[in-house]
Amino acid sequence: MDIANKDGMFFLPPPVTSALDALEEKGYEAYAVGGCVRDLCRGVTPHDYDITTSATPEEVEACFSGRRIIETGIKHGTVTAIIDGEPLEITTYRTDGEYLDGRHPESVTFSSEINDDLSRRDFTINAMAYSPRRGLRDPFGGREDIEKKLVRCVGEPDLRFGEDGLRIMRALRFASSLGFEIEGETAASIHRNRRLLRLVSAERIYAEYKRLITGVFAARILTEFRDVMFTVMPELECLEGDEYENAVAAADKAGCDVITRTALLLGREENLPALRRLKPDGRTYSSVAAVLRHINGAFETDDVSLRRLLGGVSYENARRIVDARRARGLMTEDEAARVTANLNEMEARGECVNVRMLAVTGRELMELGVPEGARVGEILSRLLEEVITCRAENDKAELIKFAKAMREAQGD
């Protein structure tokens, strides 16, 4: 199940081993730590590597003199070294001081003990360190929890969530994305402490939410921890009857896309404030809003209707709408596949779906004598309607002829 070789060694990329060596050669301890060790134990290639060391930030800088160093978070003990063009975060072993606000430690203290550093980490699966010369450090049974597929707090759950409420969302995110369960006591503590999330900034919650909603286990976690979801998205609590279950089931059937799944979870446009409060980027928010507008009610899928739809939503969002409707059972698999293929072809053909894509511009109409102002927009809209309904080709000469005919008919 893991990719450790027969000597219990994991493969670390050359920049990581050379950073570990640089620190060890000067007499310090150094390990790869956190998510990368978790992924190595799972047999998954890590997407990045963090290093933890007994060296203080100044000592780390001295070890890497001559290489590019960024003083990312010196106060918190983090130095970023650029090794073979790759940024590597190197953090001094530390313990966190008291948490008074449920968000940040009042102070951090550097330590010379790896176990101090591992014990401040959130979950057992994230509290392991590995180095080729020192082997695996796993004081909390992280490896066993990986085998059992469990997310479990390091230490007393109530205390750990009390220190930092974000860990509640992180537990849900890891369970959802890794396909793990949350261990019983940790789960009970999450339910008890869910309101601590109110102390956590929207941006940090949203970053974890995105990974939770797109996880393979999302439906299970959203169901088991609906009370937590209602704390971060109170509007969901107002969904009636089995609307929440249906929303979760639909989100689960949809592709792994934050926008489609969020639209399905919210279910209705009135629930958009739940998303707005989490402060997503503007593009995500407006895409969710666009998908939500078309997820309920009638939806025509003939070419003309699709072109009309595309006047208001991007191709990407149109495909999300189709997927969302399929997931809700409003469209059959076959129909969804046919419409998606049709959308792809329209996009490839560069089909005209809005006035900006017309072969004639407002300026050209004015050159023909149309007075500047509302009348230009009106004629463009009518030309678009002609093109969308295939009564005219999107061809400059033809559209100009049409425009002239319209003006004559109107007598202007």
- Among residues 34, 165, 215, 267, which is the contact residue for ligand ATP, using CB under 6 A? 34
Beta carbons of 91 and 29 less than 8 angstroms apart:
no
Q: Which two tokens stand for residue 246?
A: 């249906």
Other beta carbons less than 10 A from residue 346's beta carbon: 18
**Closer Cβ to ligand ATP, 163 or 257, answer by number:** 163
Write the interaction track for ligand ATP spanning residues 153-172; mark x where CB under 6 A is met and - where it is not: -----------x-xx--x--
- Among residues 24, 31, 79, 121, which is the contact residue for ligand ATP, using CB under 6 A? 121
CB of 88 to Mg ion, least distance (A): 12
Residue type at 302 in one-letter notation: D
From the list Mg ion, ligand ATP, none, partner contacted by residue 164 (C-beta under 5 to 8 A by kind): ligand ATP
Beta carbons of 312 and 321 less than 8 angstroms apart:
no
**Closer Cβ to Mg ion, 210 or 253, answer by number:** 210
SS3 264: helix
Q: Using CB under 5 A as the criterion, which residues of the chain lie in contact with Mg ion when the complex forms? A: 35
- Among residues 29, 89, 117, 122, which is the contact residue for ligand ATP, using CB under 6 A? 122
**Interface with ligand ATP in residues 387-406 (CB under 6 A):** none
b or e along 87-106 (b: 16 or more beta carbons within 10 Å of the residue's beta carbon)? ebbbbbbbebeebeebeebe
Residue type at 251 in one-letter notation: A
Task: Report if residue 105 touches ligand ATP, rule: CB under 6 A.
Answer: no
Task: Report if residue 152 touches ligand ATP, rule: CB under 6 A.
Answer: no
CB of 394 to ligand ATP, least distance (A): 47
Measured CA to CA, the distance from residue 170 to residue 329 in angstroms comes to 31
Residue type at 373 in one-letter notation: G
Question: E strands, 317-409, where?
Answer: none
Residue nearest to Mg ion (CB): 35
Which residues lie across from 32 on neighbouring strands? 51, 130
From the list Mg ion, ligand ATP, none, partner contacted by residue 135 (C-beta under 5 to 8 A by kind): none
- Among residues 80, 126, 231, 287, which is the contact residue for ligand ATP, using CB under 6 A? 126
CB of 126 to ligand ATP, least distance (A): 3
Question: Computed from CA positions of residues 245, 247, 253, 255, in that sequence, does the dihedral angle turn out positive or negative?
Answer: negative
Residue type at 404 in one-letter notation: K
| Residues that bind ligand ATP in the complex, under the rule CB under 6 A | 34-35, 121-122, 126-127, 164, 166-167, 170
